[in-house]
């Protein structure tokens, strides 16, 4: 392998940096390469700059990735490290998700101030979350809860909680683990009643199609079960058009050469939903996710995606 430095792009949030360093450390270990071979390049994205409105309002997931992708296409970066769940289902031409690191825990965690569990919060309690999926799932479980938009860095959200702005908030367990903050967690939600976002807990690497030097670099750190489960989940999202405006949850699990996917779409008020569980061969992971999405979409009908907001 050549030893010209690899430029690794990342956002500058503490979580993004932790993920970029994890990817770099795995690359160093897999190839027995020194730190100097990797240069971590930190970019600020539009999604980082605008923190007072929900993602759906300001234009969706691509806001966290556009700057990194422009530099990948231009050749100023060799790879970019992302949270897979923040990745749009359609990538710019010439780029692809070339590797996935071994997945962290996929579940959502509760950080409760006035009660540890969502079911025990006082009547009419306020919960902060800007995720449409989490908002809808909370309302399904507890229609009396007042859900307010709550964006920003993990530390900002925890500070707002401490200040008493909300009774509880929800965060991805994976992010809290990567930041070394698991001690704030008061409950962990069962993925069957509270499905995570597709691709939650998985770090992916985006790079140029046909860049064999980078493909060879990444091959030994790619985790096959994560690649298959996330490909299945992202195909589900894509079949439902991945719009930021529909609450969508779902996760896949591999066992031997088999994969099982469970997915859910719901209305923002949490009152209506359509669910699916589907099994197949891991070879067909993406096709399975597509079929699950098409099935749910057909059962829900087009009005499901428009009528409720
Ligand atoms: N949208 C923000 C985001 N993107 C990825 C994670 C957590 C880490 C992961 O799921 O891999 C988070 C924070 C959160 O949802 O609490």
- Tell me, what CATH number does 241's domain have? 3.30.160.40
Instruction: Please indicate, yes or no, whether residues 53 and 21 belong to a single structural domain of this protein.
Output: yes
Nearest to 78 by CA among 272, 217, 172, 241: 217
Instruction: Please indicate, yes or no, whether residues 113 and 41 belong to a single structural domain of this protein.
Output: no
Ligand 1 atom index nearest CA of 202: 11
Q: Quick one: pLDDT at residue 1?
A: 53
What pairs with residue 146 in β-bridges? 126
Q: Quick one: pLDDT at residue 153?
A: 87
Give, for ligand 1, the residue of 48, 138, 175 to mutate: max count of ligand atoms closer than 8 Å to Cβ.
175
Q: Is residue 81 assigned to a domain?
A: yes
Instruction: Please indicate, yes or no, whether residues 97 and 210 belong to a single structural domain of this protein.
Output: yes
Give, for ligand 1, the residue of 20, 174, 197 to mutate: max count of ligand atoms closer than 8 Å to Cβ.
174
Q: Quick one: pLDDT at residue 304?
A: 86
Q: Is residue 42 assigned to a domain?
A: yes
Q: Tell the residue nearest (CA) to atom 15 of ligand 1.
A: 172
Q: Is 246 in the pocket of ligand 1 (CB under 6 A)?
A: no
Q: Is residue 40 assigned to a domain?
A: yes
pTM of the predicted model, to two decimals? 0.93
The predicted complex's ipTM stands at 0.96
Question: What is the rounded distance in angstroms from the CA atom of residue 264 to the CA atom of residue 249?
Answer: 5
Work out the number of other CB atoms within 10 angstroms of the CB of residue 208: 19
H or E element that contains 43: strand 38-43
Instruction: Please indicate, yes or no, whether residues 217 and 240 belong to a single structural domain of this protein.
Output: no
DSSP label at 283?
G
Q: Is residue 196 assigned to a domain?
A: no
Q: Tell the residue nearest (CA) to atom 6 of ligand 1.
A: 175
Q: Tell the residue nearest (CA) to atom 8 of ligand 1.
A: 175
Give, for ligand 1, the residue of 19, 161, 172, 176 to mutate: max count of ligand atoms closer than 8 Å to Cβ.
172
Ligand 1 atom index nearest CA of 55: 1
CB–CB of 235/121 below 8 Å? no
CB–CB of 199/10 below 8 Å? no
Question: What is the rounded distance in angstroms from the CA atom of residue 206 to the CA atom of residue 183?
Answer: 32
Looking at the structure of the chain, the number of domains it has is 3
Instruction: Please indicate, yes or no, whether residues 94 and 215 belong to a single structural domain of this protein.
Output: yes
Chain position carrying tokens 């970029």: 20
Instruction: Please indicate, yes or no, whether residues 212 and 97 belong to a single structural domain of this protein.
Output: yes
Residues in the chain predicted with pLDDT less than 70, given as ranges, are 1-3, 50-61, 242-244, 307-309
Q: Is residue 279 assigned to a domain?
A: yes
CB–CB of 85/16 below 8 Å? no
CB–CB of 159/181 below 8 Å? no
Instruction: Please indicate, yes or no, whether residues 86 and 120 belong to a single structural domain of this protein.
Output: no
Nearest to 92 by CA among 101, 100, 102, 80: 80
CA atoms within 13 A on the CB side of 218: 31
Instruction: Please indicate, yes or no, whether residues 85 and 218 belong to a single structural domain of this protein.
Output: yes
Work out the number of other CB atoms within 10 angstroms of the CB of residue 18: 18
Question: What is the rounded distance in angstroms from the CA atom of residue 309 to the CA atom of residue 307?
Answer: 6
Instruction: Please indicate, yes or no, whether residues 116 and 177 belong to a single structural domain of this protein.
Output: yes
Q: Which of 52, 76, 78, 86 is catalytic?
A: 86
Q: Is 85 in the pocket of ligand 1 (CB under 6 A)?
A: yes
Instruction: Please indicate, yes or no, whether residues 213 and 86 belong to a single structural domain of this protein.
Output: yes
Q: Is residue 250 assigned to a domain?
A: yes
Q: Quick one: pLDDT at residue 186?
A: 98
Q: Quick one: pLDDT at residue 53?
A: 64
> Taking the chain, what is the end-to-end CA distance rounded to the nearest angstrom?
53
- For 169, the domain range is 108-188
Q: Is residue 155 assigned to a domain?
A: yes
Q: How would DSSP label each residue in 20-33?
A: HHHHHHHHHHHHT-
Instruction: Please indicate, yes or no, whether residues 78 and 134 belong to a single structural domain of this protein.
Output: no
Q: Quick one: pLDDT at residue 245?
A: 80
CB–CB of 33/216 below 8 Å? no
Q: Is residue 195 assigned to a domain?
A: no
Q: What is the CATH number of the domain that holds 117?
A: 3.40.190.10
Q: Is 26 in the pocket of ligand 1 (CB under 6 A)?
A: no
Distance 171 CA to ligand 1 centre (A): 7
Q: Is 200 in the pocket of ligand 1 (CB under 6 A)?
A: yes
Instruction: Please indicate, yes or no, whether residues 133 and 182 belong to a single structural domain of this protein.
Output: yes
Q: Is 118 in the pocket of ligand 1 (CB under 6 A)?
A: no
Catalytic-residue membership of 86: yes
Ligand 1 atom index nearest CA of 201: 11
Q: Is 67 in the pocket of ligand 1 (CB under 6 A)?
A: no
């Amino acid at each position: 392998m050549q030893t010209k430095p690899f430029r690794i792009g990342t956002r500058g949030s503490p979580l993004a940096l932790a993920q970029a360093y994890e990817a770099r450390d795995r690359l160093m270990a897999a190839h027995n390469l020194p730190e100097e071979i990797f240069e971590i390049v930190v970019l600020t994205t539009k999604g980082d700059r605008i923190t007072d409105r929900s993602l759906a309002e300001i234009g969706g997931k691509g806001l966290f990735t556009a700057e990194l992708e422009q530099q990948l296409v231009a050749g100023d970066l060799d790879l970019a490290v992302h949270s897979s769940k923040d990745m749009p289902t359609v990538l710019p031409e010439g780029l692809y998700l070339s590797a996935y690191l071994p997945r962290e825990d996929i579940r959502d965690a509760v950080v409760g101030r006035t009660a540890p569990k969502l079911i025990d919060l006082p009547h009419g309690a306020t919960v902060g979350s800007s995720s449409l999926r989490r908002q809808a799932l909370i309302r399904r479980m507890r229609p009396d809860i007042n859900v307010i938009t709550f964006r920003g860095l993990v530390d900002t959200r925890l500070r707002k909680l401490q200040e008493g702005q909300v009774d509880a908030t929800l965060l991805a367990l994976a992010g809290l683990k990567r930041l070394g903050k698991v001690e704030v967690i008061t409950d962990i939600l069962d993925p069957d009643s509270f499905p995570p976002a597709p691709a939650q807990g998985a770090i992916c690497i985006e790079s140029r199609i046909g860049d064999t030097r980078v493909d060879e670099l990444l091959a030994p750190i790619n985790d096959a079960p994560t690649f298959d489960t996330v490909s299945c989940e992202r195909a589900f999202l894509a079949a439902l058009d991945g719009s930021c405006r529909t609450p969508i949850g779902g996760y896949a699990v591999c066992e031997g050469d088999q994969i099982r996917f469970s997915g859910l779409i719901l209305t923002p008020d949490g009152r209506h939903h359509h669910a699916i569980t589907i099994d197949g061969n891991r070879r067909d992971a993406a096709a399975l996710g597509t079929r699950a999405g098409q099935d749910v979409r057909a059962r829900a009908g087009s009005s499901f995606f428009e009528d409720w907001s």
